[in-house]
Amino acid sequence: MLKVFTHPLRIKLYRILRATDPATASQLAVAVEENVALVSYHLRKLAVHGFIEEVSVPEGDARQRWWKVSSAEGVTIRDSDFSGDPEGAAVYAEVRRLLSNDRHSDHQLWTQQRTDLSQEWADASFDSDFHADLSSDELSQLGAELIEVLQRWRDREHHGDDSDTDRRRIAIQLCAHPELR
Protein backbone atom coordinates (compact mmCIF):
# COMPACT_ATOMS: atom_id res chain seq x y z
CA MET A 1 0.00 0.00 0.00
CA LEU A 2 2.82 2.40 0.87
CA LYS A 3 4.46 1.77 -2.51
CA VAL A 4 1.85 4.07 -4.07
CA PHE A 5 3.85 6.97 -2.58
CA THR A 6 7.13 5.96 -4.20
CA HIS A 7 6.19 8.16 -7.14
CA PRO A 8 7.04 11.85 -6.54
CA LEU A 9 3.96 13.11 -8.42
CA ARG A 10 1.64 11.13 -6.15
CA ILE A 11 3.25 12.69 -3.10
CA LYS A 12 2.76 16.15 -4.60
CA LEU A 13 -0.87 15.45 -5.45
CA TYR A 14 -1.61 14.04 -2.00
CA ARG A 15 0.06 16.99 -0.26
CA ILE A 16 -1.83 19.50 -2.43
CA LEU A 17 -5.13 17.76 -1.70
CA ARG A 18 -4.38 17.81 2.03
CA ALA A 19 -3.93 21.57 1.77
CA THR A 20 -6.71 22.49 -0.67
CA ASP A 21 -9.23 19.69 -1.10
CA PRO A 22 -11.47 19.07 -2.88
CA ALA A 23 -10.00 19.57 -6.34
CA THR A 24 -10.38 18.22 -9.84
CA ALA A 25 -7.69 16.55 -11.91
CA SER A 26 -7.65 19.64 -14.13
CA GLN A 27 -6.99 21.94 -11.17
CA LEU A 28 -4.28 19.64 -9.85
CA ALA A 29 -2.70 19.31 -13.29
CA VAL A 30 -2.26 23.09 -13.39
CA ALA A 31 -0.78 23.08 -9.87
CA VAL A 32 1.81 20.39 -10.68
CA GLU A 33 2.34 21.47 -14.30
CA GLU A 34 1.48 18.04 -15.76
CA ASN A 35 -1.14 16.87 -18.23
CA VAL A 36 -4.60 16.00 -16.96
CA ALA A 37 -4.50 12.37 -18.14
CA LEU A 38 -1.32 11.68 -16.17
CA VAL A 39 -2.70 13.39 -13.06
CA SER A 40 -5.97 11.43 -13.37
CA TYR A 41 -4.03 8.16 -13.58
CA HIS A 42 -2.08 8.93 -10.40
CA LEU A 43 -5.22 10.11 -8.58
CA ARG A 44 -6.90 6.79 -9.35
CA LYS A 45 -3.85 4.93 -7.96
CA LEU A 46 -4.07 6.93 -4.72
CA ALA A 47 -7.80 6.20 -4.54
CA VAL A 48 -7.35 2.44 -5.07
CA HIS A 49 -5.24 2.36 -1.90
CA GLY A 50 -7.68 4.50 0.07
CA PHE A 51 -5.55 7.63 0.47
CA ILE A 52 -7.98 9.83 -1.46
CA GLU A 53 -11.62 9.49 -2.48
CA GLU A 54 -13.99 10.92 -5.02
CA VAL A 55 -16.58 13.34 -3.66
CA SER A 56 -19.58 15.08 -5.13
CA VAL A 57 -19.59 18.83 -5.08
CA PRO A 58 -23.15 20.20 -5.30
CA GLU A 59 -22.24 23.37 -7.17
CA GLY A 60 -19.71 21.62 -9.42
CA ASP A 61 -20.06 20.31 -12.93
CA ALA A 62 -21.43 16.75 -12.65
CA ARG A 63 -19.02 15.64 -15.38
CA GLN A 64 -15.99 16.58 -13.30
CA ARG A 65 -14.54 14.22 -10.73
CA TRP A 66 -13.66 15.93 -7.47
CA TRP A 67 -11.09 14.40 -5.11
CA LYS A 68 -10.25 14.84 -1.44
CA VAL A 69 -8.05 13.08 1.08
CA SER A 70 -9.76 10.20 2.86
CA SER A 71 -8.61 11.30 6.31
CA ALA A 72 -7.98 14.83 7.56
CA GLU A 73 -5.44 13.33 9.96
CA GLY A 74 -3.29 12.10 7.09
CA VAL A 75 -1.15 8.99 7.27
CA THR A 76 0.95 8.06 10.30
CA ILE A 77 3.68 5.49 9.82
CA ARG A 78 6.51 4.60 12.18
CA ASP A 79 9.76 2.71 11.69
CA SER A 80 8.48 0.06 14.09
CA ASP A 81 5.66 -0.72 11.62
CA PHE A 82 8.31 -2.42 9.50
CA SER A 83 10.38 -4.30 12.08
CA GLY A 84 11.19 -7.67 10.56
CA ASP A 85 10.13 -6.48 7.09
CA PRO A 86 13.23 -5.32 5.17
CA GLU A 87 11.29 -4.72 1.94
CA GLY A 88 8.68 -2.61 3.74
CA ALA A 89 11.43 -0.71 5.57
CA ALA A 90 13.14 0.04 2.22
CA VAL A 91 9.88 1.33 0.73
CA TYR A 92 9.25 3.45 3.83
CA ALA A 93 12.78 4.89 3.60
CA GLU A 94 12.18 5.85 -0.05
CA VAL A 95 8.83 7.48 0.77
CA ARG A 96 10.42 9.45 3.62
CA ARG A 97 13.18 10.60 1.24
CA LEU A 98 10.64 11.74 -1.38
CA LEU A 99 8.52 13.52 1.25
CA SER A 100 11.59 15.26 2.59
CA ASN A 101 12.54 16.40 -0.92
CA ASP A 102 9.02 17.70 -1.57
CA ARG A 103 8.92 19.60 1.73
CA HIS A 104 12.39 20.99 1.04
CA SER A 105 11.19 22.22 -2.37
CA ASP A 106 8.25 23.99 -0.70
CA HIS A 107 10.59 25.63 1.80
CA GLN A 108 13.01 26.69 -0.95
CA LEU A 109 10.16 28.25 -2.94
CA TRP A 110 9.04 30.21 0.14
CA THR A 111 12.64 31.34 0.76
CA GLN A 112 13.02 32.52 -2.83
CA GLN A 113 9.64 34.25 -3.09
CA ARG A 114 9.17 35.67 0.40
CA THR A 115 10.08 39.14 -0.85
CA ASP A 116 6.92 38.97 -3.00
CA LEU A 117 4.78 38.75 0.16
CA SER A 118 3.23 41.77 1.81
CA GLN A 119 5.21 43.11 4.76
CA GLU A 120 2.63 41.70 7.18
CA TRP A 121 2.95 38.17 5.76
CA ALA A 122 6.73 38.38 5.52
CA ASP A 123 6.97 39.48 9.17
CA ALA A 124 4.46 36.84 10.36
CA SER A 125 6.30 34.00 8.59
CA PHE A 126 9.09 32.32 10.49
CA ASP A 127 11.86 29.81 10.03
CA SER A 128 13.57 28.61 13.19
CA ASP A 129 15.29 25.66 14.70
CA PHE A 130 15.63 24.68 18.33
CA HIS A 131 17.82 22.24 20.20
CA ALA A 132 16.98 20.45 23.44
CA ASP A 133 18.37 17.48 25.35
CA LEU A 134 15.50 14.95 25.47
CA SER A 135 14.97 11.25 26.03
CA SER A 136 13.08 9.25 23.39
CA ASP A 137 10.00 9.30 25.65
CA GLU A 138 10.25 13.09 26.01
CA LEU A 139 10.63 13.46 22.23
CA SER A 140 7.47 11.36 21.73
CA GLN A 141 5.63 13.55 24.25
CA LEU A 142 6.86 16.73 22.55
CA GLY A 143 5.63 15.44 19.19
CA ALA A 144 2.20 14.61 20.60
CA GLU A 145 1.92 18.06 22.22
CA LEU A 146 2.96 19.89 19.05
CA ILE A 147 0.47 17.91 16.97
CA GLU A 148 -2.25 18.70 19.52
CA VAL A 149 -1.51 22.42 19.24
CA LEU A 150 -1.46 22.29 15.43
CA GLN A 151 -4.73 20.36 15.32
CA ARG A 152 -6.33 22.89 17.65
CA TRP A 153 -5.29 25.73 15.33
CA ARG A 154 -6.44 23.81 12.24
CA ASP A 155 -9.80 22.88 13.73
CA ARG A 156 -10.67 26.17 15.43
CA GLU A 157 -13.67 28.00 14.12
CA HIS A 158 -13.09 31.24 12.31
CA HIS A 159 -15.41 33.74 13.95
CA GLY A 160 -14.34 36.65 11.83
CA ASP A 161 -15.87 38.15 8.74
CA ASP A 162 -16.24 35.55 5.96
CA SER A 163 -14.96 38.13 3.52
CA ASP A 164 -11.60 38.15 5.32
CA THR A 165 -9.25 38.33 2.34
CA ASP A 166 -6.15 38.27 4.53
CA ARG A 167 -6.64 34.58 5.41
CA ARG A 168 -4.25 32.17 3.67
CA ARG A 169 -3.44 28.47 3.83
CA ILE A 170 -0.28 28.12 5.94
CA ALA A 171 2.30 25.38 5.48
CA ILE A 172 3.65 24.19 8.82
CA GLN A 173 6.49 21.71 8.73
CA LEU A 174 7.94 20.16 11.85
CA CYS A 175 10.78 17.74 12.07
CA ALA A 176 12.39 16.53 15.28
CA HIS A 177 15.17 13.97 15.44
CA PRO A 178 18.46 13.34 17.20
CA GLU A 179 21.33 15.44 15.88
CA LEU A 180 23.53 13.25 13.75
CA ARG A 181 26.61 15.43 13.46
**What is the per-residue pLDDT across 10-51, written as a single tens digit (0 to 9) for each?**
999 998 998 886 999 999 999 999 999 999 999 999 999 999
Residue 140 lies in a domain: yes
* pLDDT: which is higher, 110 or 166: 110
Q: In whole angstroms, how far apart are CA 83 and each of 61, 89, 97? A: 46, 8, 19
pTM score of the predicted model:
0.72
Please give the pLDDT value at position 110. 87
Residue 180 lies in a domain: no
Residue 116 lies in a domain: yes
Residue 130 lies in a domain: yes
Q: What is the pLDDT of residues 89-116, one digit of tens each?
A: 999 999 889 888 988 988 898 888 888 8
Residue 177 lies in a domain: no
Q: Which amino acid is at 96?
A: R
Domain count, the chain: 1
Count of Cβ atoms closer than 10 Å to residue 55 Cβ: 12
Report the CATH number at residue 108. 1.10.10.10
Residue 172 lies in a domain: no
Residue 162 lies in a domain: no
Please give the pLDDT value at position 30. 96
Query: In which domain, by residue range, is 59 found?
Result: 2-155
Asked if the model's pLDDT at residue 162 lies above 60, the reply is no
Residue 163 lies in a domain: no
Please give the pLDDT value at position 128. 86
| Residues sharing a CB contact under 8 Å with residue 173, sequence separation 6 or more, in sequence order | 103, 106, 107
